[in-house]
Amino acid sequence: MSFESLKPEIKTIVLNDKLSVDERLLKICELLEANIDYYNWVGFYFKNGDKHELKLGPYVGEPTDHTIIPFGKGICGQVAISNKNFVVPDVFAQDNYIACSITVKAEIVIPIFVNGENIGQIDIDSNTPDPFTEADERFLEFICVEVAKIIK
């Protein structure tokens, strides 16, 4: 399924206020993991209150021990500080990478902004080397803008 054909489905999920925010986020994770072959782990991390750390939110994929990530640690922790997209074509080439699974080859993390503040991110792991393109970045940015609308 193409990114463009998934956008209306993302909007439908986001607008479904019969579901909790976490239920909607989980549905987004499930949609992405089921429809994009190289999205093998899809999840959200959010700033943990006033602490300088991220807390794992809804996700699909292999279970992870990384439920709390300090700012600056790993790819997600770096995005929490830089406020910029981070595309990692080869996780083994990164010094500051937190391994979640030996099968993961690449990662992409896109921040979520609410009122100009980085409040979280979407994190995608892939078991395929170097799969992410600019189209992935633009699509995930679209998702983050949509998700920001339901985060209070």
Question: In the predicted model, is pLDDT for residue 96 greater than 90?
Answer: no
Q: Give me the mean pLDDT over the 96-125 stretch.
A: 90
Question: In the predicted model, is pLDDT for residue 99 greater than 70?
Answer: no
Q: Does domain 3-148 have CATH number 3.30.450.40?
A: yes
Q: What's the predicted TM-score (pTM) here? A: 0.95
Percent of the chain with pLDDT over 70: 97
Q: For the segment 45-87, what is each residue's pLDDT rounded down to a tens digit?
A: 999 999 999 999 999 999 988 999 999 999 999 999 999 999 9
Residues 59-83: b if buried by 16+ CB within 10 A, e if exposed: bbbeebebeebebebbbbbbbbeee
- Say if residues 149 and 10 touch (Cβ distance below 8 Å): no
Q: Give me the mean pLDDT over the 14-40 stretch.
A: 98
Domain ranges of the chain: 3-148
